[in-house]
C-alpha cells in the first residue's frame, strides 16, 4: 500500500477544547510533541507521502495531556468591608488557557509589613472573609491558584491596611516615684506595639485621694509627668490609659503611693492644766487642725520654764495629755507646746502658766554629825534642808534611830538643829535618819548616818575554825569572828599559829581583820601533819586562841615540765605543737595527760587543751596573733609545772570587723571631720594598711555616693549641704583584702537661712496699725529649723524698729500716722539669721494732729497776745488752728458776771492771735489744730490782764479800803442811784463794743462793725444798720468784720 518509497509523514493535530489545529512533518516513524498545553485533548491523524504525493490520513486518535500547575496568577485582587480587625478579599478566576487543570483552590500569602510576621490563607472560591486581624496594620498579600498538581505562580503584591482602633492594653511599666511631701514623678512606656492599634496621641492619668475621695485627671503627650501639687501624708491611687485618634484604651492597674509627712504648720490648740498638785499637774491640749497636721502626730514637745529660777526643761508625750510629775511646790511653770511628725517639729504655741501648791519638804536636813562620843553618849547636830527644798516653814525635826547590832528602834524629836543623846550602850552602832516637817506634814528622811560607841578587848576566840584544801602544799584557813557580845570592839587583826607536828616547828601570822571574809592561805609541805589555832585582836589586845585543828597534806604532783616544746604554723587559724615527756625523776607519779596552755600575746586571752599524746594541733585561732605556748604534765593527783613558753604567730587574714568609734566632728555646717579607730585588735587579723571611706547623701532625689582611700584614721569633707542626712562608711584593708564596712549617719549642723521668706504682703488697717504676712523660706534654703522671724520697720527718718515672732504673720499697732515705712522680714535658725526680703513701702493714713506746742499768752495792756508752735507730730497736712477763749458779759437783770465763748479759726500758716481784753480778768485760752481727719487735742494757757497804772483795783486790799470809805460817806445819800447808774454804764459799754480783725496783725479792734453776742450765736451790725445772725464760729478772713 506504500506505492512507492515513503519519504515523509504528515501529522495533523487539532485541539478539541479550542478547535486549534496544526501539522508536523517528519521522516521518522516516531515524533515527540514538546509544545503541547497541559490538560488538553488532542485529535491526531497521520498520512504518508511519496515523491508523488500524500496518501490518505489515518483514523483519528485522541490523546489527553496531564494537568499541570496554573501558568499565571489570579488578577483583580481587592479588599472590601474593611474594619480594624476584618476584611473581605476577592479576585477574578484564571483565564482558561492559564488554568492547566481543574482549579481546586487559591493560596494567599500574607506578610505584616510592620512586624515581618507572615501567614497563609486558603480558599476554594474567588473570595475570602478574613477576621482576627490587627488594627492599624499593613498587610502585604500575593495570591496563586492551585490544581491537583500544585500551586501556580504568585501574583504581584497587593497592599491592604486596617484602620486604627483604641489601644488594646494600657501603657506599660507605669510607676510613680514620690519625690517630696508635695510632689511625685510619673513614668511609663507605651503599650506594646501589637496592642497600640494606632498612633498614640496622648495619655490620660486618673488619680484619687483616698482620704478625701477627691478624683482628678491629667493628660500628657510625653512618657513622664512631674506633679508638684500633692498634699503631704496623703494616699494617692494612680492609673493610666493610652489614647489613639479613635479613643481611650483600658486603664492600667492602680499604683498606690503615699506622700511623706511634713512638719505641722500650726501648734497644738487649747493648752490647759488640770489636777494641779504640789508636785504634779496634768497638761491637756488638742492636736493642730487636721489640715495642718501634715502627717501622723508622733510626739508633742512641751518646753517648760520655771518662772522663779529660769530653769528650763522639756517634756514629750504621744497623747494629748500628760501628767507631769517631779514639779516643785509653789513654782510657776511657763509652758509652750509644739507637735512633731516623723519629719520634724512644727511651731510652738503661745505661753501658758501653771502654778503648783504648797507641800511637805522634798529634801531632808543635811550634815548630820555626832560629837563628844563616849561609850554611852554623843551630841547630834545638823543643818536645815536647802531653802529651795523646804516648801514651807520648818516646825519640827524627827530622828529615827536603829541599833544595827540588835535591831532596836528609837525616835527622837527636836525643834532646833542640836540634840544631846545619853544612856547608850558601848560599842553599838546607832544608825540615824533625820526628817524635817512643815505645817503640811513630814518630809522624807535623809540617808542613814551611823555613829558608834567606843571599843574593848575581845573576851572569846574566833569560832567555826575550818579549812579548805587547795593543793598538796596549800590550804585556805577560814573562821568566824567571836560572838558579837564577846568582840567588845572592831576586830583589827587575827593571829594564826601553825605547828609542824613532825618537827615541832611553830610559826605565827598576823592577819588584818576583814568583816566580810576571815581567811588566810597557808603554804604547807606535802605528806605533813599540822596543828592550827586562831585568836582575835582589837586595838586593845589579843584575845584567847581557838581549839586546835589537825591537818594532813596529800600526795604531790610532778615537779618538772615536759621538754623540747616545738610549734609549726600551718595557717592563719592553726598551729601544730609537739614535745617530749619530763625526766623520769620528775614525774612524781604516772603522767595521765598533758595540758597545753596558750596565751595570745596581743590580747592576754588564754586557753588550755588536754591530750594524752605528745603532739596537738591548735585550731580556730585568730589570724596574725602571737601565741605563747607552754605544756605541763599531770598525774592522777594534780598537774605539774608548765614548760617555758615558746611563741608562734598565725598568718594574716582579712579583717572580720569594721573600724570602731566612728565619730563625726562638725567644723561648720558645710565641713565635717570623719574619724574612726581601727577595728578591735582581735578582729584586725593583720596589719591595717589602708581604709576605704565613702559618703552617701541620703534623702535626696538623686543619691550621691563618694568613695575615697586613706592610710590615716580621719578625713575631712568639704562643701556639704547644711542640715542634711549624710551616711559615712569605712572599712579596713590588710594585705589579704578588705574587711566589712560600718557606717554612721549624721545630720550636718544647721546654718542660717540662705534666702528670705517669700510673698511678703502688708495690709494697712488704720493710721497706726498694719497686718504683715509672709510665706516660709523655700525648704531647700532654710538650712535648718526656722525658730523665729524678725520684722524690720524703718521710718523715713531712718529710725527703725525690730519685732521678733515665731509666726508667719504679725499685727503691728504702734505705727505713726502719716508716716512712710519700709518693711522687711528675715528668718532665723538656731545658727543665725538669714537675709531680709526686699522692702515693702507703705504710708499710713492721716489722723488728727497732736496739740500745738509752746502755747504762750501775754498781757499787752487792754489786750492779750497768744502764740504757739506747730505740734510735734502733725499726723497729716495741717489745715488751720482754732483758738478759743471767753469774754465777760454783765447781766444787768440778774446782777452777775457772765462769759461768752469766742472761737477764732486761723489758717495753718498763722501761729499767733491778739485780742481785746478787760483789765482785772483772767482769760483761759486753748489752741488746737486740724487735718482733714479733724481736730486733735488742745493746749491751754491762762493770762491775767492787769489794771493800768493809777487805777484802783477793787480786788486789791487798797481798793477795798478806799471803796469802803466812799460808800460810808455816800451810802445814805446816793447808794441806790450810784449802783444803778454804774451797772447801766458798764452794761452799755460792753454791748456797744466794736471789733475788727486785721489779718496781718492778728488784732481785733473796734470801728467797723458791732457784734452783739447772744448765747452761742452773734449778731453783726454793718454800717448801714442791717443785722445778720449767725451760729457759725467767727472765721478771720482778709478784711472780715467781727
1016 pLDDT above the threshold of 80: no
Mean pLDDT of the chain: 86
Task: Identify the sign of the CA torsion 580, 582, 585, 589.
Answer: negative
983 pLDDT above the threshold of 80: no
972 pLDDT above the threshold of 70: no
Mean pLDDT for 336-361 is 92
Q: In the block, which residue shows the cell 476584611?
A: 87
The whole-angstrom separation of Cα 249 and Cα 84 is 15
Q: What is the pLDDT of residue 971?
A: 62
In 3D, which of 288, 220, 207, 209 has the Cα closest to residue 254? 207
Q: What is the pLDDT of residue 967?
A: 64
Under the phi-then-psi rule, with left for phi > 0, alpha for psi from -120 to 50, and beta for the rest, what region is 275?
left
Mean pLDDT for 468-478 is 84
What pLDDT, in 10s, does the model give residues 224-236?
Answer: 999 998 889 889 9
What pLDDT, in 10s, does the model give residues 167-222?
Answer: 999 999 999 999 998 899 999 999 998 899 999 999 999 999 988 889 999 999 99
917 pLDDT above the threshold of 80: yes
Task: Identify the sign of the CA torsion 634, 635, 639, 641.
Answer: negative
What pLDDT, in 10s, does the model give residues 74-86?
Answer: 999 998 877 889 9
CA 98 to chain centre: 89
User: How confident is residue 961, by pLDDT bands cut at 50, 70 and 90?
Assistant: low
1040 pLDDT above the threshold of 70: no
Residue 702's CB is within 10 A of a number of other CB atoms, namely 5
The whole-angstrom separation of Cα 1040 and Cα 1042 is 7
Q: What is the pLDDT of residue 484?
A: 81
Of the two residues 212 and 977, the one the predictor is more confident about is 212
Q: Residue 25: helix, strand or coil by DSSP?
A: strand
Q: What is the largest CA-CA distance in the chain?
A: 222
Distance in Å from the first CA to the final CA of the chain: 182
Mean pLDDT for 130-141 is 91
Bridge partners of 1030, per DSSP, are 1018
What pLDDT, in 10s, does the model give residues 102-119?
Answer: 999 999 999 999 888 999
The whole-angstrom separation of Cα 899 and Cα 704 is 93
Q: In the Cβ-directed half-sphere of 482, how many Cα atoms lie within 13 Å?
A: 27
| Cell numbers given for 27 | 521522516
74 to 99, 102, 122: CA distances (angstroms): 10, 14, 13
Q: Please report the beta strands in 623-679, taking only residues with DSSP state E, as ranges in sequence order.
A: 626-634, 639-642, 646-649, 660-668, 671-677
* Of the listed ranges 123-132, 771-780, 823-832, 961-970, the one predicted with least confidence: 961-970
User: How confident is residue 589, by pLDDT bands cut at 50, 70 and 90?
Assistant: low
| Cell numbers given for 428 | 553599838
In 3D, which of 1001, 785, 925 has the Cα closest to residue 347? 785
Q: Specify whether the CB–CB gap between 356 and 307 falls below 8 A.
A: no
Q: What is the pLDDT of residue 1026?
A: 33
Mean pLDDT for 424-429 is 83
Q: What is the pLDDT of residue 775?
A: 95
Of the two residues 752 and 425, the one the predictor is more confident about is 752
Q: What is the pLDDT of residue 369?
A: 93
Mean pLDDT for 737-754 is 92
Could you give phi then psi for residue 1029, rounded to 5 degrees?
-105, 135
Q: What is the pLDDT of residue 965?
A: 56
HEC letters along 940-961: EEEEECCCCCCCCCCCCHHHHH
What pLDDT, in 10s, does the model give residues 513-560?
Answer: 876 567 787 887 766 788 999 999 988 888 899 999 999 877 788 888
Q: What is the value of pTM for the model shown?
A: 0.35
What pLDDT, in 10s, does the model give residues 884-916?
Answer: 998 876 554 454 557 788 999 999 999 999 998
Mean pLDDT for 345-369 is 91
The whole-angstrom separation of Cα 729 and Cα 692 is 8
The whole-angstrom separation of Cα 878 and Cα 622 is 98
1000 to 340, 404, 854, 885, 925: CA distances (angstroms): 75, 111, 22, 21, 21
209: buried, middle or exposed (CB in 10 Å: 19+, 13-18, 0-12)?
Answer: middle
The whole-angstrom separation of Cα 657 and Cα 685 is 9
Amino acid at each position: 500500500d506504500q506505492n512507492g518509497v515513503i519519504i515523509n509523514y504528515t501529522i495533523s493535530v487539532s485541539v478539541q477544547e479550542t478547535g486549534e489545529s496544526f501539522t508536523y512533518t517528519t521522516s521518522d516513524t516516531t515524533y515527540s510533541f514538546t509544545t503541547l498545553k497541559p490538560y488538553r485533548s488532542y485529535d491526531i491523524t497521520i498520512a504518508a507521502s511519496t515523491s508523488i504525493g500524500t496518501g490518505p490520513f489515518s483514523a483519528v486518535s485522541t490523546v489527553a495531556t496531564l494537568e499541570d500547575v496554573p501558568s499565571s496568577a489570579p488578577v483583580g485582587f481587592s479588599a472590601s468591608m474593611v474594619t480594624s480587625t476584618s476584611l473581605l478579599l476577592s479576585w477574578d478566576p484564571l483565564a482558561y488557557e492559564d488554568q492547566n487543570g481543574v482549579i481546586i483552590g487559591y493560596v494567599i500569602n500574607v506578610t505584616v509589613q510592620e512586624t515581618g510576621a507572615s501567614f497563609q490563607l486558603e480558599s476554594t472560591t474567588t473570595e475570602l472573609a478574613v477576621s482576627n486581624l490587627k488594627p492599624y496594620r499593613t498587610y502585604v498579600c500575593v495570591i496563586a491558584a492551585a490544581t491537583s498538581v500544585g500551586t501556580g505562580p504568585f501574583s504581584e503584591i497587593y497592599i491592604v491596611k486596617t484602620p486604627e482602633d483604641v489601644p488594646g492594653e494600657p501603657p506599660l511599666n507605669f510607676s510613680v516615684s514620690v519625690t517630696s511631701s508635695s510632689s511625685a514623678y510619673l513614668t511609663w512606656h507605651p503599650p506594646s506595639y501589637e496592642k497600640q492599634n494606632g498612633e498614640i496621641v496622648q495619655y490620660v492619668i486618673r488619680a484619687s485621694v483616698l482620704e478625701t475621695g477627691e478624683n482628678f485627671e491629667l493628660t500628657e503627650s510625653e512618657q513622664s509627668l512631674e506633679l508638684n501639687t500633692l498634699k503631704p501624708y496623703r494616699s494617692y491611687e494612680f492609673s493610666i490609659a493610652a489614647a489613639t485618634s479613635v479613643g481611650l484604651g483600658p486603664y492600667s492597674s492602680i499604683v498606690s503611693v503615699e506622700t511623706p509627712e511634713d512638719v505641722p504648720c500650726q501648734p497644738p490648740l487649747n493648752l490647759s492644766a488640770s489636777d494641779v498638785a504640789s508636785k504634779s499637774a496634768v497638761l491637756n491640749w488638742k492636736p493642730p487642725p487636721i489640715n495642718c497636721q501634715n502627717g501622723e502626730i508622733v510626739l508633742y514637745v512641751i518646753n517648760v520654764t520655771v518662772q522663779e529660777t529660769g530653769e528650763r526643761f522639756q517634756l514629750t508625750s504621744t497623747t494629748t495629755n500628760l501628767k507631769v510629775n517631779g514639779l516643785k511646790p509653789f513654782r510657776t511653770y511657763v509652758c509652750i507646746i509644739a507637735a512633731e511628725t516623723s519629719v520634724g517639729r512644727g511651731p510652738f504655741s503661745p505661753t501658758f502658766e501653771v502654778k503648783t501648791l504648797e507641800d511637805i519638804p522634798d529634801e531632808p536636813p543635811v550634815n548630820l554629825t555626832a560629837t563628844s562620843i563616849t561609850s554611852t553618849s554623843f551630841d547630834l547636830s545638823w543643818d536645815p534642808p536647802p531653802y529651795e527644798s523646804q516648801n514651807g516653814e520648818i516646825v519640827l525635826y524627827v530622828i529615827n534611830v536603829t541599833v544595827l547590832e540588835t535591831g532596836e528602834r528609837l525616835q527622837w524629836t527636836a525643834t532646833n538643829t542640836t540634840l544631846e543623846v545619853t544612856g547608850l550602850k558601848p560599842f553599838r552602832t546607832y544608825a540615824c535618819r533625820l526628817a524635817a516637817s512643815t505645817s503640811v506634814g513630814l518630809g522624807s528622811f535623809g540617808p542613814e548616818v551611823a555613829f558608834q560607841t567606843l571599843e574593848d578587848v575581845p573576851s572569846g576566840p574566833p569560832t567555826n575554825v575550818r579549812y579548805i584544801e587547795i593543793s598538796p602544799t596549800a590550804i585556805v584557813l577560814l573562821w568566824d569572828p567571836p560572838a558579837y557580845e564577846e568582840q567588845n570592839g572592831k576586830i583589827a587583826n587575827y593571829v594564826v599559829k601553825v605547828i609542824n607536828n613532825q618537827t615541832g616547828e611553830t610559826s605565827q601570822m598576823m592577819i588584818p581583820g576583814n568583816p566580810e571574809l576571815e581567811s588566810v592561805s597557808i603554804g604547807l609541805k606535802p605528806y605533813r601533819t599540822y596543828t592550827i589555832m586562831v585568836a582575835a585582836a582589837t586595838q586593845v589586845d589579843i584575845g584567847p586562841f581557838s581549839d586546835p585543828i589537825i591537818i594532813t597534806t596529800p600526795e604531790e604532783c610532778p615537779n618538772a615540765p615536759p621538754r623540747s616544746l616545738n610549734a609549726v604554723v600551718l595557717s592563719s587559724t592553726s598551729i601544730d605543737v609537739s614535745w617530749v615527756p619530763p625526766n623520769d625523776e620528775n614525774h612524781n607519779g604516772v603522767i595521765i595527760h598533758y595540758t597545753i596552755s596558750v596565751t595570745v600575746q596581743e590580747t592576754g586571752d588564754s586557753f588550755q587543751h588536754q591530750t594524752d599524746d605528745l603532739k596537738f594541733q591548735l585550731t580556730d585561732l585568730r589570724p596574725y596573733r602571737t601565741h605563747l605556748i607552754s605544756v605541763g604534765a599531770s598525774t592522777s593527783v594534780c598537774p605539774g609545772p608548765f614548760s617555758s613558753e615558746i611563741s608562734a604567730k598565725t598568718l594574716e587574714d582579712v579583717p572580720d570587723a569594721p573600724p570602731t568609734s566612728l565619730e563625726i566632728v562638725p567644723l561648720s555646717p558645710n565641713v565635717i571631720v570623719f574619724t574612726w579607730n581601727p577595728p578591735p585588735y582581735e578582729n584586725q587579723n593583720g596589719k591595717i594598711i589602708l581604709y576605704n571611706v565613702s559618703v552617701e547623701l541620703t534623702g535626696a532625689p538623686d543619691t550621691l555616693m563618694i568613695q575615697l582611700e586613706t592610710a590615716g584614721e580621719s578625713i575631712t569633707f568639704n562643701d556639704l549641704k547644711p542640715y542634711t542626712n549624710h551616711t559615712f562608711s569605712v572599712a579596713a584593708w590588710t594585705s589579704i583584702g578588705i574587711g566589712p564596712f560600718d557606717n554612721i549617719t549624721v545630720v550636718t549642723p544647721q546654718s542660717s537661712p540662705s534666702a528670705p521668706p517669700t510673698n511678703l504682703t502688708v495690709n494697712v488697717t488704720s493710721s497706726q496699725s498694719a497686718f504683715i504676712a509672709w510665706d516660709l523660706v523655700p525648704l531647700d534654703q532654710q538650712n535648718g529649723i526656722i525658730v523665729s522671724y524678725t520684722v524690720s520697720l524703718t521710718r523715713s527718718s531712718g529710725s527703725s524698729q525690730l519685732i521678733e515672732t515665731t509666726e508667719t504673720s504679725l499685727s503691728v499697732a504702734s505705727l505713726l500716722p502719716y508716716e512712710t515705712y519700709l518693711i522687711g522680714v528675715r528668718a532665723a535658725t538656731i545658727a543665725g539669721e538669714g537675709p531680709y526680703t526686699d522692702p515693702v513701702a507703705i504710708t499710713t493714713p492721716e489722723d488728727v494732729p497732736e496739740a500745738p506746742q509752746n502755747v504762750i499768752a501775754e498781757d499787752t495792756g487792754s489786750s492779750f497776745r497768744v502764740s504757739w508752735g506747730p505740734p510735734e507730730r502733725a499726723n497729716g497736712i495741717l489745715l488751720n488752728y482754732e483758738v478759743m477763749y471767753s469774754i465777760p458779759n454783765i447781766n444787768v437783770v440778774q446782777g452777775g458776771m457772765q462769759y461768752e465763748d469766742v472761737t477764732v479759726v486761723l489758717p495753718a500758716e498763722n501761729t499767733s492771735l491778739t485780742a481785746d481784753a478787760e483789765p482785772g480778768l483772767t482769760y483761759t485760752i486753748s489752741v488746737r489744730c486740724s487735718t482733714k481727719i479733724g481736730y486733735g487735742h488742745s493746749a491751754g494757757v491762762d493770762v491775767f490782764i492787769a489794771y493800768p497804772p493809777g487805777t484802783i483795783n477793787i480786788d486789791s486790799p487798797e481798793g477795798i479800803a478806799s471803796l469802803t470809805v466812799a460808800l460810808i460817806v455816800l451810802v445814805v445819800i446816793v447808794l441806790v442811784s450810784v449802783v444803778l447808774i454804774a451797772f447801766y454804764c458798764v452794761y452799755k459799754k460792753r454791748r456797744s463794743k466794736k471789733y475788727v480783725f486785721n489779718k496781718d496783725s492778728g488784732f481785733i479792734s473796734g470801728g467797723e462793725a458791732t457784734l452783739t453776742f447772744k448765747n452761742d450765736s452773734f449778731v453783726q451790725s454793718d454800717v448801714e444798720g442791717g443785722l445778720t445772725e449767725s451760729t457759725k464760729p467767727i472765721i478771720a478772713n482778709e478784711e472780715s468784720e467781727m
